[in-house]
Amino acid sequence: MRDLLLEVAGGVATLSINRPRARNALALQTMAELDQALDTVRRERARVLIIRGTGNKAFCAGGDIKELEQMRSEEEAAAMAHRMRATLDLIPQLAIPVIAGLNGDAYGGGAELAVACDFRIAAAHARIGFAQISLGLMPAWGASERLAAMVGRGRALRMLLIGEAMTAAEAFELGLVEMVVPSRSFDKRLSQLARGIAAAPPAAVAGIKSSVNAVRPHRSPELADETVEAFARTWTDPAHWKAVEKMEKRRRAKR
């Protein structure tokens, strides 16, 4: 794979987004590889999966705007959203636990990826935020439903409508991440946690995940069409492209 690194050792699969120059943002190629990698993990019979970014600056900065802004029609935007939402829906369907290892910042689509995982372990310096609103967009990949189930309706609305980045500590207080680890010991603690789960009897682990999912489903396929259609409309709205233009001007000004 070009954009992802997959390693399976001792029952622990580690899937790393490897696009450091783009702050591990998701290009269309990365999205396709993620779908393939999840299928490979299932066939490899790993006992636990970690999804993380390479380095220590970014877990995932969201969709790669430089590439995705080439999509100008509702049809293109909807097709991309359907594909990626279906990919993220594979995560709760895996029999094994999937840990989002927030080695750094998770924004926009990166935050969507994080909340699609079973639980989240964050380095103390990491930040997380649903920044779609700043680009005139709404989440496309199921985060609205997952977030509401996770932290409650009011908190979800606040996070999505304000779009501010939260520190790892703030995200922990709100129930968005389950553990915050000192940055210097993040890799070691994440590995220890995963190895501990991998050592447990697989049938018990699978049963626990299945029973928890039955109480609080982490995917809502019946809502996909309506959500994706609403996202596609925001994608083609002039407000979105004005926001992208402003963002690009700010980036150029910082150079």
**Residue 227, domain member (yes or no):** no
Neighbours of 18 (CB within 10 A): 16
Q: How many CA atoms, within 13 angstroms, populate the side-chain half-sphere of residue 181?
A: 20
Q: What is the dihedral of CA 226, 232, 237, 242, to 10 degrees?
A: 130
pLDDT at 217: 67
**Residue 241, domain member (yes or no):** no
**Residue 247, domain member (yes or no):** no
**Residue 243, domain member (yes or no):** no
Domain that holds residue 151: 4-202
Q: What is the dihedral of CA 156, 233, 108, 227, to 10 degrees?
A: 50
Q: What is the pTM of this model?
A: 0.95
The total number of structural domains in the chain stands at: 1
Pairing of strands 166-167, 127-129: antiparallel
**Cα dist from 182 to 102, 123, 126, 164, whole Å:** 12, 6, 10, 23
Rounded mean pLDDT for each run of 10 residues along the chain, 255 residues in total = 96 97 96 96 93 97 91 95 96 96 98 97 98 95 94 96 97 98 98 97 96 82 91 96 90 79
**Residue 85, domain member (yes or no):** yes
pLDDT at 187: 98
Return phi, psi of residue 9, to 5°.
-150, 130
**Residue 156, domain member (yes or no):** yes
**Residue 245, domain member (yes or no):** no
**Residue 8, domain member (yes or no):** yes
Ramachandran quadrant class, 71 (left: phi over 0; alpha: psi -120 to 50; beta: rest): beta
Angle formed by the axes of helices 143-151 and 153-162, nearest 10°: 130
CATH number, position 51: 3.90.226.10
Q: What SS3 class is residue 176?
A: coil
